[in-house]
Amino acid sequence: MASSQSRASQPLILVRSSVNIDETYRVPHIVRPGETLSSTSLVSRSGGKGANVSAALGLQGAQVYLCGAVGKDADWPVEELERRGVKSDAVLRLDRVPTGRAIIQIADDGENSISVLLPGANFHREAASTSDPATAFKALPRPPTHLVLQNEIPLEHTKAFLSHAHAQGVTTIFNPSPMLIQEKVRDFAWDELNVLIVNEGEGADLLEAFGVRVPEGPQAVLDALNDLKQLAKLDWIVLTRGSKGVIARVRLSDSRENERAVLDKPSVKPKEVKDTTGAGDTFAGNLIHTLAQHQASEQTTKLLKRKDAEHVLEWAVTAASMAVEVEGALESIPKRQEVQHRWEQAWSQQ
């Protein structure tokens, strides 16, 4: 699909988000309150939700630009992104501000826990290139078709970029992780979004913030999100379920107007589970790229046919399952050809 398009006609995806250094400690199990554990290893790797999702997009062949900031204490995280196809022109290198850092525990069973997060350069507020969306958009070779936002940068920047993109007809994607406090949830411009990606816990947090009792079961949580008037304008509400796959409500071009159909895809069984760090961002990046490619092939910025929407979810869960097979965040994100091969094994006969 992408090979038949000229570079200029392909989607251009802007990620306004974070870059961190992940300080990863290997432990027997996730530390409990009051407990002290000895770590068997420490590895420093490039990470941060913005870096991870950008790398996932770059490895899929997307034309992706990351808008963010790092300190001059470490240039290598940006170099890691560039090697994965991410354009770093809009990444600032700041004096006297450290690069953001995350302290991560990896247990023997592959589960992870981010125990400490240092915002660092991610929360720099002064430069126009990261705080003013008009400046950031003008620095791109052409207007973006898609904007990806998360929650490891100042909220006022997220809101400004979202409003600017929405006004220009850009497809907007939000993965609110870490979740906003309830007051900020209620104040957010949800009607300016096209795609929302949350896990089950984040979905429950959203319902609670809007005063809705959280029902039992993922289908019921998704249905409750679908019924929120604040989310009525979204085309995609995606609820990720970790090792159990994904369930989504999607507005389709071949379904009744304004109705969001339910799509449910199980996970693809990984060969082994080594580290779940970055799997959610791998899912998001692969979903966004595949969605953007289908939209470009249909010459629309909005709705897909059912079969194409199902392919988007199948591809994303396949990539996420591959990410848990390798330690690290950026290091674990598979390339497009690798995902293609695994997708064909898992889904092509269905």
Q: Global pTM?
A: 0.91
- 5 within domain boundaries: no
For residue 95, tell me if it sits in a domain: yes
The annotation status of 241 as a binding-site residue, yes or no, is yes
The tens digit of pLDDT for each residue in 84-106 reads 999 999 999 998 899 999 888 98
306 is in an annotated binding site: no
Long-range contacts of 202-210 (CB under 8 A, 24+ apart): 202/176, 202/177, 203/239, 205/179, 206/176, 206/179, 208/182, 209/180, 209/182, 209/185, 210/185, 210/186
H helix intervals, 84-230:
128-131, 133-138, 155-167, 182-187, 200-209, 218-227
Q: Up-side HSE of residue 321: CA atoms within 13 Å toward CB?
A: 25
Contacts of 62 by beta carbon, 8 Å cutoff, 6+ apart = 10, 11, 13, 85, 288, 289, 292
Residue 40: burial class (beta carbons within 10 Å; 0-12, 13-18, 19+):
exposed
| From 19-23, 193-197, 253-257, the region with the lowest mean pLDDT | 253-257
Q: Flag whether 282 is marked binding.
A: no
Report if residue 3 sits inside a domain: no
Domain containing 278: what range?
A: 11-343
Active site residues: 281
CATH of the domain at 17: 3.40.1190.20
Q: Which pLDDT tens digit goes with each residue over 38-96?
A: 899 988 888 899 999 999 999 999 999 999 999 988 789 999 999 999 999 999 999 88
Residue 233 located in a structural domain: yes
Residues 6+ apart with CB under 8 A from 142: 8, 12
State pLDDT tens for residues 125-163. Answer: 878 889 999 999 999 999 999 999 998 999 999 999 999
Domain-embedded: residue 1:
no
| Tally of structural domains, the chain | 1
- Is residue 61, in this structure, part of any structural domain at all? yes
Q: Which residues pair with 173 in a beta bridge?
A: 148, 195
Domain assignment present for residue 348? The answer is no
- What CA–CA distance (Å, rounded) separates 301 from 150? 21
CB 125 within 8 A of CB 154: yes
